[in-house]
Structure 1
Amino acid sequence: TLENEHKAAGAVFREYGGWLRPAHYGGQFGITDWQTAIQAEALRARQVVGILDGSPLGKIEVMGPQASALMDFNSYQTLSTLKPGRIRYGFMLTEAGVIYDDGVVSKVSDDHYIVSCSSGHVQGVHMRLEEWRQDQFDPGQVYIHNSTPQWATLTATGPASRELVGKLGLGIDLSDNALPHMAFADAVFDGAACRVARVSFTGDRSYEVSVPQSKAPALFQAMREVAGRLDGCLLGSEALLLLRAEKGYIIAGKDTDGTTMPQDLGITGPRDKRQNEFVGKRSLFTENAMREGRLQAVGLSVENGKEVLPTGAHVIDTQNGRHRSAGFVTSSYWSPNLDRPIALALVENGLSRLGEEVGLYHLGKSMAARISPVCAFDPEGTRLNG
């Protein structure tokens, strides 16, 4: 929908999850080097505000009297306990208990939910929901509709995001009491229905504004004009990937592999407390799921001034002079906001090894890092919730 607008803004496109999306907008800073452009966008978004086109993210609607039951059955987290107007982060698991996708779910009412899954998993999530709808539920009592192509979503993220969205004339209260983190509200933009969701994939205060596709160009222009007055910027997918890594937010399939379960991310509450059945539950209690030596998600800290760790570098375990792989780097960046390298990794027993120094090896080169929590930026969540 916004391809022409992105091109006019100087976007360089790359493929992400089956979609051509803006990777960066170097021209807005007069920068030709793509790596420098990404760093500049990530820095400006943290300092002021950035605008991201999140339209490819899934918007799958689940409706009907059995909607709550279907959602609970297909989610690691319980969703029926949400209040209308609230949002919850969660996982969809395979029957093997492995994380298939992560995302947020908005509860419109007891019989209406909106699943926002990753852009590369829209068809897969839709298919899984439809499969279980027909297999476990009364097809006449619950319906699934993929409305992803019908809506455009533009996100404002950063300290000035509320100010930016407040100048769009949406007619809603954006105060923290009225719209806290993980809540949404219905609004109107340019005479059309609009939904504003306060969710974040950067770790900063953020607002997702969704409008019908026909209103996308007008919304894009309005947000750009306000951002320009605030000295904000457009934010490409590469800078977004950097920002979410600073906060320790995973990407399913990048920071997880085909064996990763929720407990490997340190998220065990639903496994231990939920009494009702959900897809993958039994597999979370198998011998393999509970064994020692599982690959677990952690951060890797490198001393300031050291090189960025290569993605794919192996964490090395040495015993009796023999080396073996004990994990690998899944995401790695130079953080302009922290002024040091950051990395995420899957490491054997990583969650119980925080603070431990480990060796890494990649293409004939040895390196060192220290195992750390996944969140490197604003661990207290002040910028996100305040």
Structure 2
Amino acid sequence: MLADSARGFLDDAAPVSALRHLRDAGRTHDPDLWQRICGMGWAGVLIPEDAGGSDMGHAAAGMLAHEMGRTLVNSPFLSSAVIAATALRQVADARAMDAMAAIAAGRTTYALAIDETHKFAPEATAMTAGRSGNGFRLSGTKRFVIDGGFADRILVLARAAEGLTLFDLPADRAGMDRTALNLIDGRDAARITFGNVEATGDDVLGQVGDAMAVLKPALEAGQAALAAEMSGLAAGAFDMTVGYLKERKQFGRPIGSFQALQHRAAHLWCEIEVTASAVLNAGRVLDGNPGEAALAVSLAKARATSTAQLAVMEGVQMHGGIGMTDEYDMGFYMKRARVGAEWLGDYGYHAEQVAALRGI
């Protein structure tokens, strides 16, 4: 019922054509659409009821992300409603509860500033958080900060003397220089430079030197939801491709009647179904046994990355030459799959995690 409701809403309010309109207008997101999404309660899917959320869990968040992936919705759902909400929930003090209430109500959006190189490697964070009196001074640069161009607050990972520490900072804090970037898929991102940015103990989310206690569950939640989004992307690309196979005629017959193309479409459908199962399992494990979810999450993200790339490659090929033109929407799916593959760990990163967790 949740998936059907989400699909009906998004097909009307945020079809793929909406992404094209945003791109042509030079915009990366639609604030009005986000407020409508928040009004439907989606921003509070992982937020406790005491903070104004619905607390429906990660499986439900994955269903919503899947439907957003189908129509390539640009929104801060993953950054705010999934990653930031999960991080704040690990703390759940009065300040965190207020922050979660603001996310659920659509008053505040978050971004996660973690990447410093071209690859995802949080444990290798070099950005410094030097002691300054009773507080800290943050120095360094964060890249590929999804939704960082418009977010109200930034979760920042930095290395203090005690170890990795997570800070929750307003995006307009003095010394933070944001350079907005429009990614190839039309999604908002930013490069943020921190020039001796002042942070107090109140800005620390969790404990100094123990960032991963807060960040690890948030990252896994984000990876699982991103896998769900990419699974939806693959399904959307597949539906578009099958529709074209039924319409396009060659030699007086629909090209979908050619056995070679039927075999390729059937193979892709099987891959999408297996990946959907992996994604659903990741949400189930996060809800039931979050401390043991790493394997299920990395498996889902690796499979979703591979399947999404297969779906868009097959989609372009089976559309023929027009698949590479801007007139057709398949190119939007291809670009979104490319960005999703890199965010929060690429296929190689998660395949390595799966191998390590399986003792290979």
TM-score (norm. length: structure 2): 0.27
